[in-house]
Chains A and B, each alone.
Chain A
Amino acid sequence: MHHKNSHVVDCRLDQIKYLSERYVLMLFTLPFRILGMLPGQFAQVRIDGAENTFLRRPISICFVPSPTEIWLLVQVVGEGTKKLASLQAGSIVNMVLPLGKSFSIPMDRRRPLLVGGGVGVAPMLFLGKQLMDTGLYDKSSIHFLLGARSKSDLVLLEEFEKYGTVHCTTEDGSYGTKGYVTQHPILQNQSFDQVYTCGPKPMMQAVARYAAEKEIDCEVSLENLMACGIGACLCCVEDTTEGHLCTCTEGPVFNTKRLKW
């Protein structure tokens, strides 16, 4: 009997929280227990009833409170995500999950930095919890660095605070340090031995440069445009040191050593 890693499931939307003008948090119940979901993995979410959306939308798993629940953080950017954000509690949403490779947790690291920008903060929450769950880290040694345009876009801060120390930057200076994540003083004041990042590509590239200068291992989560999400269409390829690799199956998490950044 073939062991299934991923499933096509109808999930029930239990709660939808409007966090800001652009972000909603969607809390779903799965139809059965799915074990082994990991931070960095994503769900392919089908958008029903939107006129011009044809493909599923890949959305990073934000949190897994239990094997029958997942949270998705959705940034409203286009017709598909707008449709998702308009759903009422009780709606059924079809997903394929979990997909992709997760962040790695090396056993010999103790001072991780988790950098999230915009909607890219989503997997960092789950990763923070995963790091805590290993028992290898104490809360004070896990640092989140979260960046956004302004205060209203900094979401889920109280959740992040459960798993580490939270540092923030905003582009307009309305909260935390003014500027980009790479301008935050902790990058110079503190030393880290592992960097994880997810967010806009220029931000991740800047974080990757910082990690390279400091000779720290860095994992990034890419958001290349996808069709299938399961390695069949070959549309989401990233040009890596090993040639074109599918972001959906070889990633979305890549060690920056494999990328041509």
Chain B
Amino acid sequence: MVNQEVNLGGLRLSNPVMSASGTFGFGEEFQDYLNFERIGGIVVKGTTLLPRQGNPYPRMAETPSGMLNAVGLQNKGVDYFVQHIYPRIKQYPTALLVNVSGSTVEDYAETARRIQDLEHIPGIELNISCPNVKEGGMAFGTSAAGAEAVVKAVRKVYHKHLMVKLSPNVTDITEIARAAEAAGADSVSLINTLLGMSIDAEKRKPHLSTITGGLSGPCVKPIALRMVWQTSKAVRIPIVGLGGISSATDAVEFLLAGASAVQVGTMNFIEPGIIETIADGLVAYCERHKVARISDLTGALEVVGSSPLSCETK
């Protein structure tokens, strides 16, 4: 029997495979497709203090092995979540985290405060990395000072698990990770989408209403893996790895690179039952490799030879 449980700095997950925010709705959308007991955790759709309409259509462009999105945090606001959605989903047999976003430090803190007392929400994921909203979002996640300010403010009012989702749209992600850790984050999740662009050459027009958007899917996996590995060398708090995971093998790679858990995002759109498939595949991998606990894979990458080049980018 493989022990699948992981401990993210006090937040216990039945297995390390979570859903990434914005790709799994509130879970309800997926009830036809998988057994929720096989989901390590669900990070629900990005929630802001006030309702947001999001960006105009078109918001999506397909790319080779991935897609661009420019949804822009469409959501009905935290109060709607607390009153209408939470009662419907609170009994799910999995860890429920709310992804919190905002335009100001005060927005983030107030949204977090309103989620604080929900019994079945053991933590939040602070989104300081959304590339699709004009103010805030990514702005906080692209400087160490910005990240520190917002994490500190939320830490003051929020006393459960605080996960901080990092942006890859930076020169050195480890600097932001360290700032989040210093400000009191319990874990970091990475990566959010990469800022990208797509053009319709025939029409000479951008595909997205916002011109640029966030790239996700298998095409970003090598970048995500590299950033997880770098970050694992820079912080002591647990890392949740995500970016293009589409198989159990991908998930193993993230664990080996230093992640304690993973999130599956864009692939939920194509295979709505994929989280269960990956969770089962992790067990099979461990059995095949005689690994007793999935958590033993975290950081178990075997590196031979001299100091790797990527460390010199600092």
Contacts and interface: CB of A to CB of B under 8 A. Distances in A.
Do A and B truly interact?
yes
B29 A231 contact: yes
B239 to A, nearest CB: 25
B63 interface: yes
A244 interface: yes
A46 B22 CA distance: 21
Interface string A1-42: 010111110000000000000000000000000000000000
Contact of B57 (A7, A224, A232, A243): A224
B71 interface: yes
B80 interface: no
B269 A231 contact: no
B23 interface: yes
Task: Find the residue from B23, B29, B64, B273 having the highest chain A CB count within 10 A.
Answer: B29
B306 interface: no
Contacts of A226: 60
B216 to A, nearest CB: 10
A243 B53 contact: yes
Contact of A96 (B53, B67, B272): B272
Contacts of A157: none
16 contacts: A2-B31, A8-B272, A54-B66, A55-B269, A225-B57, A225-B60, A230-B272, A232-B24, A232-B268, A234-B22, A234-B74, A236-B57, A237-B57, A238-B57, A244-B53, A244-B74
B270 A56 contact: yes
Given A7-B32, A243-B53, A235 B59 contact: yes
B269 A233 contact: yes
B307 interface: no
A232 B67 CA distance: 14
A8 B33 contact: yes
Interface string B7-24: 000000000000000111
B207 to A, nearest CB: 9
Interface in A52-109: 52-56, 96
Nearest to A232: B25
A228 B19 CA distance: 14
Interface string B35-67: 000000000010000000110111110111111
Interface of B: 22-25, 29-33, 45, 53-54, 56-60, 62-67, 69, 71, 74, 217-218, 268-273
Task: Find the residue from B59, B64, B65, B218 having the highest chain A CB count within 10 A.
Answer: B59
B74 A232 contact: no
A239 interface: yes
B60 A227 contact: yes
A158 interface: no
A213 interface: no
Contacts of A46: 270
A230 B29 contact: yes
Given A4-B32, A6-B32, A233-B269, 20 more contacts: A5-B32, A53-B62, A54-B64, A54-B218, A54-B270, A55-B62, A96-B272, A224-B57, A225-B57, A227-B69, A228-B23, A228-B29, A228-B269, A229-B269, A231-B25, A232-B23, A232-B29, A233-B23, A237-B54, A237-B57
Nearest to B271: A8
Contact of A54 (B23, B67, B69, B71): B67
Contacts of A224: 57-58
A242 to B, nearest CB: 11
A200 B88 CA distance: 38
Contacts of B67: 54-55, 227
B261 to A, nearest CB: 20
A54 B217 contact: yes
Task: Find the residue from B56, B66, B71 having the highest chain A CB count within 10 A.
Answer: B71
Contacts of B54: 234, 237, 244
A235 B60 contact: yes
A19 to B, nearest CB: 26
Contacts of A8: 33, 271-273
Nearest to A5: B32
A88 to B, nearest CB: 24
What 7 A-B pairs have minimum CB-CB distances, sorted nearest first? Answer: A235-B60, A228-B269, A232-B25, A4-B32, A231-B29, A227-B269, A235-B59
